[in-house]
Structure 1
Amino acid sequence: MPSFSSLADKVQTAQLTLGYTFDNPTIGMGALVTPGVALPGLPTRMDGHKELALVGDAVLKLALTLAGYEAGRSREVTSNILQTKASNVNLALVGRRMGLDELVIVNPSQAGMVSDKVMANTVEALIGAVYMDSNSVDAVRPVLAAMGLDGPA
């Protein structure tokens, strides 16, 4: 089981990867911890990072929809971008391409394996963590750009 300090190191790496520095690193830590993991010093949530992932999913869709509106894209084009960019398949690919799978703290029953679903949830959780830390969709946009999630494919 990793320690609180090793999780802090993982958040530092995530910050460098995402190009965002958390004002409250504990929020970033929460994004990297899957359900069923308890670490001393970290507030425990029954669903691990799933609550942040739910926020991240909504913020990702909002940011992509706003970008489509601001660019004057049709609803159909924006909808297609949402279906492609916000899909779990794409989010898992993005997370692995960025090396985020190396930062996830998985439930011991997963034997260190980061499934595609967990990877997609982690990407969403990191997006949600940035939003919760900043309370700003505008702060999330550069993170989405760093992830390649900011516009048409």
Structure 2
Amino acid sequence: MWRTKAMEDLLEYRFKDKTLPLSALNLPGRLTSIKDNTGLAQVGKAVMELFLITDGYDKDMDPENINTLLTYILDNSKLADVGTKKGLGRCMMGMQSGTTSLTPLYTARTVQALMGAVYIDSDGDLEKLHEAMMAIGLLPKPGAQLPV
């Protein structure tokens, strides 16, 4: 359960269902009773888009600027970079012994899955999702310059 605690600390969120972060860290193809992160990654991708679009709409942002923001924040290379900098590789489960490194796509999907886990565990609370996105470093700090 050290992985769950590590993710709770990283995301500044306490999971009610302690298996959700484990599922988010479980790469596809691993034979275990814990679901892999594919479904949670799909949820995470969708709800991060929902949050950013809704937030932009509420702030009367131009749709083009919202699209730029989506690309800037949710690009797989950015997600992978954030995950790598936060040390997700040491927590991810399912890497074969002998593999040299995690692929960026696995890391990006794990970040998406963690956001999906927060969303599901919080009963769809977009504010909790926002806080987790801030905690992991996906969103710029308040007052930071955005690319839009």
TM score, norm. by length of structure 1: 0.85
From the superposition, tell whether residues 77 and 51 of structure 1 become closer, same or farther in structure 2 (CA, over 3 Å): same
Partner SS state of residue 114, structure 2 = helix
1:148 counterpart residue number: 137
Aligned counterparts, 1:1-153, within 5 A: 8-39=1-32, 42-43=33-34, 45=35, 48-108=36-96, 111=99, 113-135=101-123, 136-150=125-139, 152-153=146-147
TM score, norm. by length of structure 2: 0.87
Q: Distance in 2 between matches of 1:99 and 1:17?
A: 10
1:5 counterpart residue number: none
Residues matched between the structures, number: 141
CA shift for structure 1 position 14: 1.1
CA shift for structure 1 position 110: 6.7
Kept after mapping to 2: 8 A contact 1:37/1:108: no
Paired letter, 2:51 = A
Q: Which ranges of structure 1 fall in alignment gaps of 5 or more residues?
A: 1-7
Partner SS state of residue 67, structure 1 = helix
2:143 counterpart residue number: none
Q: Which ranges of structure 2 fall in alignment gaps of 5 or more residues?
A: 141-145
Q: Distance in 1 between matches of 2:11 and 2:74?
A: 17
Q: Distance in 1 between matches of 2:38 and 2:116?
A: 10
